[in-house]
Amino acid sequence: MRIDKFICATTDYSRSDIKRLAKEGAIRIGELTISDVSTKIDTEINTIYIFNNPINNIKPRFFMLNKPLGVVCANSDGHHKTVIDLINEPKKIKLQIAGRLDKDTTGLVLITDDGQWNHRVTSPNRHSFKHYKVTLAEPLDNNLVEQFKNGLLLNGEAKKTREAKLSIIDNHHADLLISEGKYHQVKRMFAACGNHVTALHRHAIGNIQLDSTLNEGDYRPLTQDEVNFFND
């Protein structure tokens, strides 16, 4: 990899910054000062130093965030705060949202800069269940459990939804596990049954559960076990 590309990917220096640093003699490999930023290096073997500080090879990053109400799942938005705005990390422009939530849905959002991991999280072929806590406007009927299990035909869809696991907690609250990610799916599923979702919270994606110690708007890195759930 070119030195300038590597430094740009692993630090907050811009390409113009890197050229200036090279002219100042601030970049070196071992004891060798580098003036040509197009020089190629093996990032597994060579260590680059800037002002005598080593620049380590960047590793993929994985975070969970507790999304508040009103925040949008986007990298940038001209009108609303985004989940990326809540992240305080270098090079956060490279971060991707793995499984988006609506503006008025709260809870677990996974964020990474590993595109392949993101694809595994969001791929419908993995059939990973997403766990939602749902609040409804109208009382819930126990017959809904079987209806959700058998699949529902949503407005505008040609096929029924996959089997979903509905657990009724009380008249207006339920837990729902779905393995799909259709547009506004949970809301549309209850709408197909004549009910209206008034609050929606995502508690888990696969085996990754929202950390109960995270306040709304807070985030933390995933543990290696959590990352590995989508590496299998």
| Residue 211 is a catalytic residue | no
Identity at 43, one-letter amino acid code? T
Give the active site residue among 17, 85, 102, 175.
Answer: 102
Helix (H) or strand (E) holding 15: helix 15-23
Contact, 105 vs 71, CB < 8 A?
Answer: no
SS3 content of the chain, % helix, strand, coil (to 5): 25, 30, 50
Q: Which of 168, 198, 205, 153 is nearest to 176 (CA)?
A: 168
> What are the tokens at 49?
């130093």
User: Strand locations in the chain, DSSP E?
Assistant: 27-29, 32-33, 48-50, 53-55, 62-67, 96-98, 105-112, 130-136, 165-170, 173-178, 197-205, 208-209, 219-221
CA 113 centroid distance within chain: 9
Please report where in the chains the tokens 């290696």 appear, as a residue: 224
Identity at 90, one-letter amino acid code? P
**Residues forming the active site:** 102
